[in-house]
Structure 1
Amino acid sequence: MGAAVLVSARGVRINAIDRGAGDPVVFLHGIGGDAGNWAPQLEALAATHRVVALDSRGFGRSDRTYGRMSLADYARDVLVVMTELGIGRAPIVGLSMGGMIAQTVALTAPQRVASLVLADTSSSADADMKADLTASGAAAVAHGMPAVATAFMPATFSRAAVAENRRYVRDFEENFSSTDPLTFNIGLQAIAELDLTDELHRIDVPTLVLVGDEDALTPPEHSKTIASTVPGAELVVIDDAGHLSNLDQAGAFTEHLVRFLDAA
């Protein structure tokens, strides 16, 4: 996968994959995932770019912390890691919770963001979404992550991927199941506070919004809201893809990503 580096961010060690050379691109994964979720895209881009994929605080090989976190806190970690790795400004690619963090970075430190790719994500949490997040967090703490993973998989991947039990579905479920339930709940609580829609008009960098047509966790309507609010944003709906469209349809996702980065 490439060299792993540990960067100290405000007293916490953040793990990151750092490989390739050329213009940097920063990748942010979704909740319950890690930097490895970006494997197809890192492999494709490393020949022409420096690709940096973080394990967000509490996930993957990064340190666990058990205090309250906000999306702004996760965003500050991203900025510290970029600084420590000598990256002043870069495109930021975020999926799901990573897309929420990417929006936050763009709004709080616009000078650090060259362009944005927001995949299978949302810009605000409505009452139903907050209720689902609260229930999922409570279930994780009470019953453990494997039970939550079993419930999440049908909503995370396309129907075909789940039915065929594809390898990346199994790998993600195994990784998701090993997530610390407390840090998972902390992340869900941060997502529940998401309220960025009214601020998106301030984003003034090239923005690509990608979403799977079968995304049940952040349905295409969420992406349509983002794309219609960020000035000049492009929306692409990926066929036969669920919430992790970068894995469900890795080829199509990567093709759109490369095209966008080349043009931005």
Structure 2
Amino acid sequence: MARVGKAIGIGAAAAAAAGAAAAGVAADRAAADRRILDAVDPDVDFTHTPDVELVAVATDGVKLHAEIDTPDGWAPGQLTVVLSHGFCLAIPSWIFQRRALLEAGYRVVVWDQRSHGRSDRSEIENCTIEQLGHDLRVVIDTACPEGPLVLVGHSMGGMTTMSLVRHHAELVRERVLAVAFVATSANGEGLTDLGFGPLVGRAIGQAGPRLLSRLAPHQRWLAPVRRAGKTIEDSIVDKFSFDSPVSEKLVRFTSDLILATPFEVMAAFIPAIQGLDEYESLTALVDKEVLVVNGEGDLLTPPKHSAAIVDRLPGSEHVVVRDAGHLIMLEHPELVSSQILELIDRATVDLELGIPVAAKPRVRRFITDIGRRRRVRRARRAESVTQARRQASKAARAKVAKPGAARDRGAS
């Protein structure tokens, strides 16, 4: 998620300059198209009331906000799913998955990583992937100290999971049943290309932290600028977050979530992500069920990063989703939720039958969210019919008005 942060920082400056007429026209057209698709995305309400809210205290004293959802009939010692969000995001980014998992009967723990969401701000020197791994351990010890676990991490959250695996191998060995890596990477190389290629991308990556640090003292003054350039900002977020048509409400929800992250926090974590190398950590997962999910059109953590994870895990399942970008869990929520539920089912069967994961073949599947494609087509078709009816009605009114106008001219 590092490049989202930099893209948004650049986007704030672009919004401040909101002058480019061509960009404004394109953004307005994109916004109009997204308004048509408001019925496509599920669950307009992005709020969620947890059963329990708690605070886990990190090794350096930072207070980490966590929430727990517990289904009816759940008993201590049963499975808990822990969801770790990505860079510049927070707990709400998992809204669809936590609902689906809860409905399926699983206890769910979600948490805000340090300096994100409702967790405390961290000292810059502790904004590291290593520290995030220790943070996840503290959250687990506080929120779910017993019973089997399934760990799910998106983007930086996946990196956090890898750090946990490296630094707390005994916990993983004894309690973790399965792991899901969603749109993430085990290595920071190339994570700053922003889809522009290494030359331009490297320059953006180097300038990003400095730019964000300079903007940080002025962030509160950017609110009016954000409102003035909202359509441009939304278009930037749309480009780097999604790869299929999404609704205006989803893009606005995503924009507000990302821009809630202070610029200095973005700047602090970018070097940590760029310097990431967790390939060795993956070796501890060869006997665990692992799911790797990525969007084929992800500009921030391109598919090759997911493929590199899969190559090191012989028994893993790799799902590549067409028409999907970096925020795949929001763009294709039902699909991602179903993949996580299938992962849990596979891991449970393996455990019951004593099937060694390392002996299973590696699986790579390409999936298209056909249901979503159909909803998009229906929404656009309905809008076309509505527009045609409006044009016909307008033409009819004009035709009726013409004889009267002619009589008025004759009378004069």
TM-score (norm 1): 0.91
Report SS of the residue matched to 1:129.
Answer: coil
Question: Equivalences for 1:5-154 in 2 at 5 Å?
Answer: 5-10=54-59, 11-20=61-70, 21=74, 22-47=78-103, 48-68=105-125, 69-88=127-146, 89-113=148-172, 114=176, 115-126=178-189, 129=192, 131=202, 132-143=204-215, 151-154=236-239
Instruction: Please report how far the alpha carbon of residue 46 of structure 1 lies from its aligned counterpart in structure 2 after TM superposition.
Output: 1.3
Read off the aligned partner of 1:97 and give its amino acid letter.
Answer: M
Report SS of the residue matched to 1:122.
Answer: coil
Q: Point out where structure 2 has 5 or more consecutive residues left out of the alignment.
A: 1-47, 194-201, 227-231, 348-412
More displaced 10-residue stretch of structure 1: 50-59 or 186-195: 186-195
Report SS of the residue matched to 2:124.
Answer: coil
Read off the aligned partner of 1:155 and give its amino acid letter.
Answer: F
Q: Residues 59 and 179 of structure 1 are in contact (CA less than 8 Å); yes or no, is this contact kept in structure 2? A: yes
Q: Residues 107 and 203 of structure 1 are in contact (CA less than 8 Å); yes or no, is this contact kept in structure 2? A: no
Report SS of the residue matched to 1:221.
Answer: helix
CA–CA separation in structure 2 for the residues paired with 1:66 and 1:149: 29
CA–CA separation in structure 2 for the residues paired with 1:229 and 1:220: 15
More displaced 10-residue stretch of structure 1: 167-176 or 217-226: 167-176
Q: 2:262 aligns with which of 180, 185, 199?
A: 180
Read off the aligned partner of 1:180 and give its amino acid letter.
Answer: P
Read off the aligned partner of 1:76 and give its amino acid letter.
Answer: H
CA–CA separation in structure 2 for the residues paired with 1:65 and 1:149: 27
Read off the aligned partner of 2:278 and give its amino acid letter.
Answer: L
CA–CA separation in structure 1 for the residues paired with 2:264 and 2:184: 22
Instruction: Please report how far the alpha carbon of residue 67 of structure 1 lies from its aligned counterpart in structure 2 after TM superposition.
Output: 2.3
**1:14-40 Cα shifts (integer Å, max 9, x gaps):** 011211144111100000000110000
Instruction: Please report how far the alpha carbon of residue 210 of structure 1 lies from its aligned counterpart in structure 2 after TM superposition.
Output: 0.3
Instruction: Please report how far the alpha carbon of residue 152 of structure 1 lies from its aligned counterpart in structure 2 after TM superposition.
Output: 4.4
CA–CA separation in structure 2 for the residues paired with 1:133 and 1:58: 21
1:203 aligns with 2:285: yes
CA–CA separation in structure 2 for the residues paired with 1:76 and 1:24: 19
Over 3 Å counting, the alpha-carbon distance change for 1:83 and 1:198 in structure 2 is closer
Q: Name the count of aligned residue pairs.
A: 261
Q: Residues 133 and 189 of structure 1 are in contact (CA less than 8 Å); yes or no, is this contact kept in structure 2? A: no
**1:130-173 Cα shifts (integer Å, max 9, x gaps):** 84444333332223577896644411112422xx43x2221111
Report SS of the residue matched to 1:58.
Answer: coil
Read off the aligned partner of 1:221 and give its amino acid letter.
Answer: K
Q: What does residue 226 of structure 1 align with?
A: 309
More displaced 10-residue stretch of structure 1: 45-54 or 135-144: 135-144
CA–CA separation in structure 2 for the residues paired with 1:149 and 1:141: 19
CA–CA separation in structure 2 for the residues paired with 1:257 and 1:127: 27
Report SS of the residue matched to 2:258.
Answer: helix
**1:94-135 Cα shifts (integer Å, max 9, x gaps):** 000101111111222233231210010111112563844443
More displaced 10-residue stretch of structure 1: 195-204 or 115-124: 195-204
CA–CA separation in structure 2 for the residues paired with 1:134 and 1:96: 20
Question: Which has the larger helix fraction?
Answer: 2
Q: Residues 162 and 281 of structure 2 are in contact (CA less than 8 Å); yes or no, is this contact kept in structure 1? A: no
CA–CA separation in structure 2 for the residues paired with 1:67 and 1:143: 17
More displaced 10-residue stretch of structure 1: 168-177 or 92-101: 168-177
Rg comparison, structure with higher value: 2
Read off the aligned partner of 1:173 and give its amino acid letter.
Answer: S
CA–CA separation in structure 2 for the residues paired with 1:260 and 1:128: 27
Read off the aligned partner of 1:143 and give its amino acid letter.
Answer: L
Q: CA RMSD in A?
A: 2.2
CA–CA separation in structure 2 for the residues paired with 1:194 and 1:125: 5
CA–CA separation in structure 2 for the residues paired with 1:19 and 1:28: 15
Q: Residues 149 and 177 of structure 1 are in contact (CA less than 8 Å); yes or no, is this contact kept in structure 2? A: no
Q: Point out where structure 1 has 5 or more consecutive residues left out of the alignment.
A: none
Over 3 Å counting, the alpha-carbon distance change for 1:128 and 1:223 in structure 2 is closer
**1:58-88 Cα shifts (integer Å, max 9, x gaps):** 0000000132222110110110111122434
Q: Residues 66 and 183 of structure 1 are in contact (CA less than 8 Å); yes or no, is this contact kept in structure 2? A: no
